């Protein structure tokens, strides 16, 4: 049995703002085993990034309230003090951010920024840390790593910067690598390379990965399990195959239907989910997806719980429709032939 690294149970993250309390994450649970890739998928504002940052304690603020548990190897991250957190960050759990253009400090060399974490966590001297940085840059596929290590971020292209970010995140050989939309700011051709790189390095470094994205297509090949988030909640959670072949929640159908596909007849327009994600201050009562759901009915005014409704164990969803109805109703949406609304 693989080692369980992360166990999030019933996590709530609420931000107090001038307009009211933003319930960015509202009851999220998942687990992560060593060697596993977990995909967290959802639109902007679904709470996926907040969830990820909370794993590292990066959402801590005087206006933030947490509930639930985030266990890392049995220790609750939410209860750690700043010093304990600093030991975990970058060392046992590390993070890759969305925009490599702004996520690197412009005034330090790439090498200096990779070195920093090594020097702090492993108390390595500068020469050792530098050699390690060069090694890491080679591993993430930067050519001429010996000389490029002394370049500044502006001398790197977007894809190379994201590789450098990955090298930085892997510098202390972390158990968990959290990648928050690592490919969103990159060219399509580079996206696949980066995802492949993360997947390969996960095995080399024997870690687990949480891959956050709004694009189900990105995680299809690499994720073992997928969590679909909507309005701060998990609406569907399943192993990757069942999620793609037997999706249960209308929101998941919408996400799947909006992926352009070459193996289907060409359509006039790509499928889109009508409307916008709800306000997280005054979320709709009942099912949060109800206002945008073409299949909503009376019962949806009450919120369904996240439970197993299909034959496949461990495949959870939050939808009142019967499994038969779902399998019938989803066909046009998945094929993208019908606008869902």
Residue 52 or 219: which CB sits closer to other proteins? Answer: 52
All residues at 6 or more sequence positions from 144 whose CB lies less than 8 Å from its CB, including other chains: none
Question: How near is the Cβ of 86 to other proteins at its closest, in Å?
Answer: 5
- Please report how the helices 126-139 and 158-170 are oriented relative to each other, as an axis angle in degrees rounded to 10: 130
CB atoms within 10 A of CB 303: 16
Residue 53 or 287: which CB sits closer to other proteins? Answer: 53
Residue 145 or 170: which CB sits closer to other proteins? Answer: 170
Binding mask 224-253 for other proteins (x = CB under 8 A): ------------------------------
Judged by CB under 8 A, the stretch of 72-80, 163-171, 186-194, 225-233 that binds other proteins is: 163-171
Distances (CA, A) of 282 to 23, 26, 124: 9, 13, 50
Residue 165 binding other proteins, by CB under 8 A: yes
Please say whether the dihedral angle defined by the alpha carbons of residues 319, 323, 329 and 333, taken in this order, is positive or negative.
positive
CB atoms within 10 A of CB 118: 25
Asked if 166 and 140 touch (Cβ cutoff 8 Å), the reply is yes
Asked if 44 and 33 touch (Cβ cutoff 8 Å), the reply is no
At residue 134, what are phi and psi to the nearest 5 degrees? -60, -45
Question: How near is the Cβ of 152 to other proteins at its closest, in Å?
Answer: 4
Q: Write the DSSP string, 47-98.
A: SHHHHHHHHTTTT--TTEEEEEEEEETTEEGGG--HHHHHHHBTTTEEEE-S
Of residues 268 through 327, those in contact with other proteins by CB under 8 A are none
Edge-to-edge order in the sheet of strand 37-41 = 93-96, 176-180, 208-213, 37-41, 225-230, 233-239, 316-317, 307-308
Judged by CB under 8 A, the stretch of 4-12, 97-105, 190-198, 266-274 that binds other proteins is: 97-105
Q: For other proteins, which residue of 43, 69, 116, 339 counts as binding (CB under 8 A)?
A: 116
Residue 102 binding other proteins, by CB under 8 A: yes
| Strands 233-239 and 75-76, sheet pairing | unpaired
Residue 168 binding other proteins, by CB under 8 A: yes
Question: How near is the Cβ of 147 to other proteins at its closest, in Å?
Answer: 14
Q: For other proteins, which residue of 120, 131, 197, 239 counts as binding (CB under 8 A)?
A: 120
Residue 112 or 234: which CB sits closer to other proteins? Answer: 112
Q: For other proteins, which residue of 103, 213, 258, 333 counts as binding (CB under 8 A)?
A: 103
Residue 122 or 303: which CB sits closer to other proteins? Answer: 122
Of residues 46 through 85, those in contact with other proteins by CB under 8 A are 56, 58, 82, 85
Positions touching other proteins (CB under 8 A) are 56, 58, 82, 85-91, 94-95, 97, 99, 102-107, 113, 116-117, 120-121, 152, 154, 165, 168, 171
């Amino acid at each position: 049995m693989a080692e369980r690294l992360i166990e999030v149970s019933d996590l709530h993250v609420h931000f107090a703002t001038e307009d009211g309390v933003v319930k960015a994450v509202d009851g999220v649970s998942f687990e992560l085993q060593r060697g596993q890739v977990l995909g967290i998928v959802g639109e902007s504002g679904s709470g996926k990034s907040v969830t990820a940052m909370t794993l590292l304690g990066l959402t801590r603020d005087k206006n933030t309230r947490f509930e639930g548990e985030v266990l890392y190897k049995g220790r609750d991250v939410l209860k750690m003090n700043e010093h304990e957190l600093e030991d975990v960050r970058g060392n046992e759990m590390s993070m890759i951010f969305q925009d490599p253009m702004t996520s690197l400090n412009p005034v330090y060399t790439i090498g200096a920024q990779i070195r920093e974490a090594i020097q702090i966590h492993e108390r390595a001297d500068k020469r050792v840390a530098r050699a390690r940085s060069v090694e890491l840059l080679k591993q993430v596929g930067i050519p001429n790593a010996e000389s490029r290590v002394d370049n500044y971020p502006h001398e790197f292209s977007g894809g190379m910067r994201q590789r450098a970010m990955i090298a930085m995140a892997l510098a202390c050989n972390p158990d968990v690598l959290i990648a928050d939309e690592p490919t969103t700011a990159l060219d399509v051709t580079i996206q696949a390379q980066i995802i492949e790189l993360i997947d390969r390095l996960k095995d080399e470094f024997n870690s687990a990965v949480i891959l956050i994205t709004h694009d189900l297509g990105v995680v299809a090949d690499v994720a073992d399990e997928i969590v679909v988030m909507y309005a701060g909640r998990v609406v569907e959670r399943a192993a990757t195959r069942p999620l793609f072949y037997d999706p249960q929640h209308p929101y998941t159908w919408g996400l799947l239907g909006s992926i352009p596909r070459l193996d289907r007849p060409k359509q006039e327009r790509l499928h889109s989910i009508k409307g916008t994600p709800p306000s997280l201050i005054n979320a709709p009562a009942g099912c949060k997806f109800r206002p945008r759901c073409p299949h909503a009915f009376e019962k949806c005014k009450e919120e369904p719980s996240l439970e197993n409704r299909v034959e496949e164990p461990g495949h959870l969803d939050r939808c009142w429709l019967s499994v038969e109805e779902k399998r019938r109703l989803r066909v046009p949406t998945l094929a993208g032939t019908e606008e869902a609304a």
